[in-house]
A and B are shown apart, each in its own frame.
Chain A
Amino acid sequence: MSSRLVTFELLWDLLTNGSIHVTLSTGQSMADPILELEKVTVRRGMGVVLQDFSLQIKSGECVILHGENGAGKSTILETAARLLPMESGAVSHHGSLVCDAQGRRLNPDSPFGLTLQSNCLVGSQTVDQHLTNVMALCAKSIDLKPILSAFKIANRRNDKIAHLSGGQQRKVAVIAGLIPAMVESQPRLVLLDEPDSGLDDSAIKVLIQFIHELRNIGHCFMIATHDSRLFECGTSLNDLTSEKTQEITNSDRWTMEAKPNSVSLLKTKIGWKYNSSTLVSIQRNWLAALLVMGGLLSIVDPLTLSDETVILMGFTLAPAFTLGLVGDAVFKILNEQRAIDWWRAQHNLVPNSYIESFISGIILTGISSQIFIQSVDYRIIIIGGLIAFATTACVRFLQLSTIRLARTNAVFIRLLTPILILPWGIIVDYCAKL
């Protein structure tokens, strides 16, 4: 990637997260742990779920976490995936720190496989689109047909995920979790939380076989499950109080070859793909902006206000502002089935629709300029685009800041958005004088 692109991605990171996160890179031998949880303490609700918990997983190992409901299996997995803040301790992938109790969250050196209890899918995408996105994140591609055929969903490859049954959706989520290992010959970490949930017997057999093959070429797994059939995959069985190692006789190896796939500005591209495949920004942001424009037109004839330049400029820039206030369309999509958590685990920069907001702001301001001030000034149009972009970024920042809450849709974070009216009003005044 060129230095200019790196700078752009870092700036993007700054906009999205309020800080720049740098990926650490260190050399590592095969004997070093791929995943290391070091004296991790995690609280959920008002209770301490994990207390000084430590675990190491090396290349070629598969740890099966089992135990009663509420024992902390998912908490371990989600902590390893950088999704839960810790009271103490640290998590490392491939020998590099990825998160710790001081709140540091560093992008992992390499993508890792992740299947959470929720499927983390976007219903409006096709199976192919979703899995292609995951491969793009790994910068490699592989022929999906034999994998989909093994799970008996090859015929649903071009269907939207929302049209699949619950079990078929689970298969897609499991495949997505395995892909980072499937496309890579270097050891990769795979975290699977109850992958068997909703799968039929034949799919579980396929899953077990894939895990054996991938583990035998050096990938490592941590799997939380209640299904004893998956226990045969484990080099160790951990019930969170004690660990038992076991021998595995299966020596089949994964042989499928992957091709390299160049990646740049991936999250922006994927945000664009989410938007274009779902048209969610049209049905939410554009609709609100056009309704505001129509509402303003219904109460006033712009020709009668020709001397009121500030009011007319306010009307001109109102649709772009409204478009931004509705929020990031991609954020809304990603809230389905915890897809946003899947992305947050992989990278600090989550797909966004900043580019769409900027372009939409330009188009809407162009239309409203023609309607309200009967002229098109390119400076006003660019400012309209910037208003939409900046407002979207601010609303998204507020939404992201409440992502840890149990009921993110019930929190009243939008109450804070009226503060954006002040800078918008100042910009309107400025534009009226242009």
Chain B
Amino acid sequence: MRVKSGDMCLIAGFSGLMLTLYLAFNWAPSVDINAFQSPEAQRIFYWHVPAAWAAFIAFGVLFVGSALWFFKRSPLGWKLHIAGSEAGLACGLMAVWSGCVWGAAEWGTPWDWEDFRLNTFGLLTLLALFLVLGRQSQPDGVESRDTFSTFGLYGFVLVPITYIATRIWVIRHPGPVIAGDENSSISGDMALVLMIGALSFTVLIIGHIMTSIEITKFEQRIDRLQKELDGE
């Protein structure tokens, strides 16, 4: 069996994630026990932040794909839209789930309905869920593609809002780790594990997008063949 580059990326990304988990739980230094209510739970951060990072990449792909379909009617654009929404859903759910676990341990509540960043990121994940489920509930056609692409385009507005939310409206969520101010700097070992995690998630996302495009291509080919059999 021929191993494709998408499969290679998936395997490499998955291996990197396993390594990240191992390092996060066994090698990365502990945080100051006085700075956190639940210092050990902070290790979830090595999973949570890279997952959120990968989700933003996926939403970027979703935006580009939506724009390509909506303005250029590009078939590749639609494939990117599908891949971006699926990857965004997977990574978004991982980020939300790990955030809820940490929130329950640190804040005493898994979710804060009044925290701006939690809600905008939650909405982005729900948008991805809507796009994935909605697409499966509708026959493929220009009507459904236009509608879902529009949501993909508007949804991307939430990405910069979510990123800057903790700068302009800090309630509970910690400030940005990447490209933050001087208070956001972290120790070298912590940064290394975080980088491995972010890189692994990025490779995994690239693998997923490549595989998803391939699957969509096959689905569209089957659809064409079925129509030929129907005599259309």
Q: Which residues of A contact B (CB under 8 A)?
A: 43-47, 85, 401-402, 404-407, 410-413, 415-416, 418-419, 421-422, 425-426, 429
A407 touches B146 (CB 8 A): no
Whole-angstrom CA separation of A413 from B151 in the bound complex: 10
A426 touches B141 (CB 8 A): no
Give 16 pairs: A residue, B residue, CB < 8 Å, sorted on A: A43-B141, A44-B143, A45-B140, A404-B143, A405-B134, A406-B144, A410-B137, A411-B134, A412-B130, A412-B133, A416-B126, A421-B119, A422-B116, A425-B113, A426-B114, A429-B114
Name the CB-closest residue of B to A412: B133
What is the predominant secondary structure among interface residues of chain A facing chain B? Answer: mixed
Min Cβ gap A318→B in Å is 13
Min Cβ gap A82→B in Å is 15
A411 touches B119 (CB 8 A): no
The one of B116, B119, B134 in contact with A412, judged by C-beta atoms closer than 8 angstroms, is: B134
Min Cβ gap A86→B in Å is 11
Q: Which residues of B contact A (CB under 8 A)?
A: 113-114, 116, 119-120, 122-123, 126-127, 129-130, 133-134, 137-144, 146-147, 150-151, 232
With a CB–CB cut-off of 8 A, which chain B residues contact A412?
Answer: 129-130, 133-134, 137
Min Cβ gap A275→B in Å is 28
Known: A404-B143, A404-B146. A415 touches B130 (CB 8 A): yes
Name the CB-closest residue of B to A409: B137
With a CB–CB cut-off of 8 A, which chain A residues contact B123?
Answer: 416, 418-419
Min Cβ gap A70→B in Å is 9
Whole-angstrom CA separation of A165 from B138 in the bound complex: 31
Min Cβ gap A321→B in Å is 12
A406 touches B134 (CB 8 A): no
Known: A44-B143, A405-B143, A405-B147. A413 touches B134 (CB 8 A): yes
A415 touches B142 (CB 8 A): no
With a CB–CB cut-off of 8 A, which chain B residues contact A46?
Answer: 140-142
Min Cβ gap B226→A in Å is 12
Min Cβ gap B100→A in Å is 14
Min Cβ gap A420→B in Å is 10
Q: How many A-B residue pairs have CB under 8 A?
A: 77
B126 touches A418 (CB 8 A): yes
B147 touches A407 (CB 8 A): no
A411 touches B137 (CB 8 A): yes
Name the CB-closest residue of A to B115: A422
Whole-angstrom CA separation of A16 from B126 in the bound complex: 24
B147 touches A402 (CB 8 A): yes
Known: A45-B139, A412-B137, A418-B122. A405 touches B144 (CB 8 A): yes
Name the CB-closest residue of A to B224: A46
A406 touches B139 (CB 8 A): yes
Min Cβ gap A338→B in Å is 15
Whole-angstrom CA separation of A416 from B129 in the bound complex: 9
3 closest A-B pairs by CB: A45-B141, A410-B137, A422-B119
A404 touches B147 (CB 8 A): yes
Known: A402-B147, A421-B113. A416 touches B134 (CB 8 A): no
Name the CB-closest residue of B to A410: B137
Known: A413-B134, A422-B113. A43 touches B142 (CB 8 A): yes
With a CB–CB cut-off of 8 A, which chain B residues contact A418?
Answer: 119, 122-123, 126
Whole-angstrom CA separation of A410 from B144 in the bound complex: 12
With a CB–CB cut-off of 8 A, which chain B residues contact A85?
Answer: 146
Min Cβ gap A334→B in Å is 19
With a CB–CB cut-off of 8 A, which chain A residues contact B142?
Answer: 43-46
Min Cβ gap B70→A in Å is 11
